[in-house]
Amino acid sequence: MILLSAYCAVLLSFASGLLALMMHQRQNLSAISEYGFNTFFTRNVHCRGWLNKNLEERRFPVFLKQAVFVLLGLSGVFAVIAGLAVLLGKGVITDQIALGLPWLPWHIRFDGLSGFFFLIIGIAVCAVSLYGPGYVRTYKENEHPFAALGLFTGLFVTGMLLVLLADDAFMFMIAWELMSVASYFLVAFQHENPANRRAAFLYLLMAEVGALSIILGFGVLASFSDGFTFDALREANLSTTWASIAFVLALLGFGMKAGIVPVHVWLPEAHPVAPSHISALMSGVMLKVALYGLIRFCFDLLGDVQWQWGVVLLVLGTVSALGGILYALMQPNLKRLLAYSSVENIGIIFMVLGLSMIFMANGHPQLAALGFLAALFHAFNHALFKNLLFLGAGIIHHQTHELNIDMMGGLIKKMPQTSALFLVGCMSISSLPLFNGFVSEWLAFQTALQVDVLDNGVLRSLIPVAAAALALTAALAAACFVKVFGLIFLGQARSRNSEKAHEVRDKGMLAGPALLAGLCFFIGIFPGVIIHLINNVSSQLLGHTLPNDSALGWLWLAPVSAEQASYSPPLVLIGALIAAGICYWYLRRSPLTVMRRAETWDCGFGGLTPRMQYTSSSFTMPFRRIFAKTWIIDEQIKKDLQGAMDQDVVAVHYQLHIQDHSWPRLYQPIAQGVNNLARQVGRIQTGNIRTYLGYSFATLLLLLWVIS
């Protein structure tokens, strides 16, 4: 039954993709329906009238788009049901499907870990399918065909769900590739722009290199076992060296997809160019699938984790978290900023996962369970709020046709609902109390503070430093999202487009983000719901749960024990309401002190213009100066001079370009190396047939010599 709903989710998303292909088949469809009604369902007048009405030329595209998204949404609902059912049922379900090659059936396994990620995908897909119909309406059919968008969206979701169900390496890789390639087409959807094509190619390249690395990782495991099913791989008996090699390969492959520094470069290129609901899925969900892959590979297939791996994850995660947020801070493009912030959040997740590994390898499984809990919880939260923010960015783009936050401003009055939803997202991602982001960060701190149990002195001093880096990351994230919300929604409009913007009319486009914002708040107040679910995952995967004496009620959150640390969001909420209520009531009771509106104080000079406001680059100037070494900063100030002796400044031009260090340091050398190698190889390609015959002859001789 549970498996059935999981299959339903997969099939429905696949069906939604196929249905999108019907976009150009209106004539055929109406012919078929005519035929069908004439021969089989002759009495069904209502049904026929309804269908005919929707098959009219004007209505049909709208109807089809809605139908596609309804199917996608149903797929999301089934995914949520299946995920919840398997998490609550605590069971493991296995199955085989006779697909693929005859002697290689697809092995299916649906356990707590898959279920948890099913839940994440399901919620995200539900929100996206509420949002989608309104968003895709603006695409012109002849330039950006919906058939392509819908088909690849369906395939993309199918691929992600199948990755979670896979129980053998073949099926895993097929589903993985389906996910990667489908999302490539989605990134390249608006391909008329060369920059988009370049971004999509970069994405495909890195996805394939990553896939190659994952295949090699599976290969290492498989060479020590008989077969490619995960059951066989679990039995594999590896030496520590080989296990570490497999771990590094998997880390490279999954890390590339997840966007760990320094293999993150595709994220800020690919996410801004995809349609917003797709970037929401890619950033919110696909990165989590990569995380799933890593967890499955390390904790489940490899089994014996080494503490050195944990240190690698911890260091990489810290670097990614800090690097991601520092780069995000500097971006004026909203979607690029959000993409970099995904790098940061993935970094945090990797950090905590590394802690979990360290505790696991040092024989503290309960603390490992705590770290695991914090990592999965943060993954869940990140999926919620990053989806929310990307969908919000989509609304803003839709209404103002801008992505540059220096061109926005004052939208809080024009788009009140969007701004409220976006504010919830910003507060969650800045990990403020009462919202979900805070709870997972709190758990991460609690994990890091348990370091006293370790024997290794280096680890004991390394981990608190990582915790301080996490604190810096959180504070920088708050600064970053103050900038985002403040510049987009507050102040005065900085361009005509944002001055003329108005609230989005489509209810669905608000309903999708509203669902996510509601969940962000609900989980922030009652985190116990999700923690309970993750506990079931860790009991299955690690064999341990949180300590028994940790009071895990709906009211209290005490991950280790009540004496060590506790946090009660509902009580905090009540306290906040009481405090705010009292001062609100007390201060407003006198009618003499009714608020009066007046002009803004302009120091008596008059004429405040929007250009006087702080912009993105001026807001982040102190950071740019303090952390100057982090970026390659190219700042140019050019003055146009005029008059005698060039004394009058007519205009000042300011240009600021901020570049990632990883390009010149890592990628350009690699690209150059490949080019040089190709040139070397090119030397033997003379284009002369006699030389080629000579090569063949030499090869033949060599082979004969080898055989004899």
> Please, which of residues 371-430 interact with other proteins by CB under 8 A?
409-410, 412-413, 423, 427, 430
Q: Which tokens hold the place of 251?
A: 């880390």
Q: Which tokens hold the place of 357?
A: 């590994």
Give residue 614's identity as a one-letter amino acid code.
Y
CA 133 – CA 513 distance, rounded (Å):
14
Which of 1, 31, 475, 698 touches other proteins by CB under 8 A?
475
Q: Is residue 272 part of the contact set for other proteins (CB under 8 A)? A: no
Q: What is the length of the chain?
A: 708
626 or 684: whose CB is closer to other proteins?
Answer: 626
CA 100 – CA 324 distance, rounded (Å):
40
CA 52 – CA 35 distance, rounded (Å):
12
CB of 231 to other proteins, least distance (A): 41
250 or 405: whose CB is closer to other proteins?
Answer: 405
Q: Is residue 78 part of the contact set for other proteins (CB under 8 A)? A: no
The count of other CB atoms within 10 Å of the CB of residue 203 is 25
Which of 21, 22, 51, 490 touches other proteins by CB under 8 A?
490
CB of 549 to other proteins, least distance (A): 14
Q: Which tokens hold the place of 203?
A: 């994405």
628 or 644: whose CB is closer to other proteins?
Answer: 628
31 or 555: whose CB is closer to other proteins?
Answer: 555
Which of 173, 245, 479, 656 touches other proteins by CB under 8 A?
479
**How distant, in Å, are the alpha carbons of 62, 63, 417, 503, 701 from that of 137?**
8, 11, 20, 16, 65
Which of 438, 528, 537, 550 touches other proteins by CB under 8 A?
438
Q: What is the 3-state secondary structure (H, E, C) of 97-129?
A: ECCCCCCCCEEEEECHHHHHHHHHHHHHHHHHH
114 or 616: whose CB is closer to other proteins?
Answer: 616
Give residue 436's identity as a one-letter amino acid code.
N
Q: Is residue 36 part of the contact set for other proteins (CB under 8 A)? A: no
25 or 492: whose CB is closer to other proteins?
Answer: 492
CA 187 – CA 270 distance, rounded (Å):
6
31 or 612: whose CB is closer to other proteins?
Answer: 612
122 or 347: whose CB is closer to other proteins?
Answer: 347
Which of 47, 576, 632, 700 touches other proteins by CB under 8 A?
576
Q: Is residue 680 part of the contact set for other proteins (CB under 8 A)? A: no
Q: Is residue 641 part of the contact set for other proteins (CB under 8 A)? A: no
Which of 3, 478, 511, 633 touches other proteins by CB under 8 A?
478
61 or 547: whose CB is closer to other proteins?
Answer: 547
Q: Which tokens hold the place of 486?
A: 């403040």
Helices 2-20 and 59-89 cross at an angle (nearest 10°) of 160
Which of 492, 495, 539, 662 touches other proteins by CB under 8 A?
492
289 or 412: whose CB is closer to other proteins?
Answer: 412
Q: Considering only residues 194-233, where is the footprint of other proteins by CB under 8 A?
A: none
Q: Considering only residues 447-466, where is the footprint of other proteins by CB under 8 A?
A: 449, 451-452, 455, 457, 460-461, 464-465
CB of 157 to other proteins, least distance (A): 35
> Residues binding other proteins: what is the number (CB under 8 A)?
85
CB of 375 to other proteins, least distance (A): 18
Q: Is residue 51 part of the contact set for other proteins (CB under 8 A)? A: no
CA 322 – CA 393 distance, rounded (Å):
23
CB of 556 to other proteins, least distance (A): 8
253 or 559: whose CB is closer to other proteins?
Answer: 559
CB of 462 to other proteins, least distance (A): 10
CA 67 – CA 61 distance, rounded (Å):
10
Q: Is residue 251 part of the contact set for other proteins (CB under 8 A)? A: no
Q: Considering only residues 527-566, where is the footprint of other proteins by CB under 8 A?
A: 562-566
Which of 192, 237, 505, 587 touches other proteins by CB under 8 A?
587
628 or 681: whose CB is closer to other proteins?
Answer: 628
CB of 489 to other proteins, least distance (A): 8
What is the b/e burial string over 624-657, where b = at least 16 CB atoms within 10 angstroms of the residue's CB? beeeeebbeeeeeeeeeeeeeeeeeeeeeeeebe
Chain-centroid distance, C-alpha 348: 13
Q: Is residue 595 part of the contact set for other proteins (CB under 8 A)? A: yes
CA 368 – CA 535 distance, rounded (Å):
12
Q: Considering only residues 498-517, where is the footprint of other proteins by CB under 8 A?
A: none
CA 547 – CA 366 distance, rounded (Å):
6
Q: Is residue 309 part of the contact set for other proteins (CB under 8 A)? A: no
Token look-up 């609690």 returns 446
Token look-up 């991950």 returns 559
259 or 486: whose CB is closer to other proteins?
Answer: 486
Closest among 429, 420, 449, 331 to 387, alpha carbons compared: 429
Write the binding mask 596 to 635 for other proteins: x where contact by CB under 8 A, - elsewhere. Answer: xxxxxxx-----x-x-xxx---xxxxxx-xx---------
The count of other CB atoms within 10 Å of the CB of residue 36 is 14
Contact (CB, 8 A) for 300 and 113? yes
Q: Is residue 654 part of the contact set for other proteins (CB under 8 A)? A: no
Which of 491, 508, 518, 547 touches other proteins by CB under 8 A?
491
Q: Is residue 592 part of the contact set for other proteins (CB under 8 A)? A: yes
* Stretch of residues binding other proteins (CB under 8 A), selected from 105-113, 139-147, 567-575, 683-691: 567-575
Residues 6+ apart with CB under 8 A from 691: none
CA 41 – CA 345 distance, rounded (Å):
55
Which of 486, 513, 524, 527 touches other proteins by CB under 8 A?
486
Closest among 223, 367, 415, 336 to 616, alpha carbons compared: 336
Which helix (H) or strand (E) covers residue 294, if one does?
helix 287-295
CB of 630 to other proteins, least distance (A): 13
CB of 499 to other proteins, least distance (A): 13
Chain-centroid distance, C-alpha 565: 30
257 or 483: whose CB is closer to other proteins?
Answer: 483
Max Cα-Cα span within the chain: 107
Helices 287-295 and 146-165 cross at an angle (nearest 10°) of 20
Half-sphere exposure of 657 (CA within 13 A, CB side): 4
CB of 432 to other proteins, least distance (A): 5
Residue 662's beta-bridge partner residues? none
487 or 542: whose CB is closer to other proteins?
Answer: 487
79 or 325: whose CB is closer to other proteins?
Answer: 325
CB of 526 to other proteins, least distance (A): 15
618 or 668: whose CB is closer to other proteins?
Answer: 618
CB of 605 to other proteins, least distance (A): 12
234 or 413: whose CB is closer to other proteins?
Answer: 413
* Stretch of residues binding other proteins (CB under 8 A), selected from 195-203, 214-222, 470-478, 653-661: 470-478
Residues 6+ apart with CB under 8 A from 234: 300, 301, 303
Closest among 297, 322, 174 to 236, alpha carbons compared: 297
Q: Is residue 260 part of the contact set for other proteins (CB under 8 A)? A: no
The count of other CB atoms within 10 Å of the CB of residue 534 is 24
CA 174 – CA 163 distance, rounded (Å):
8
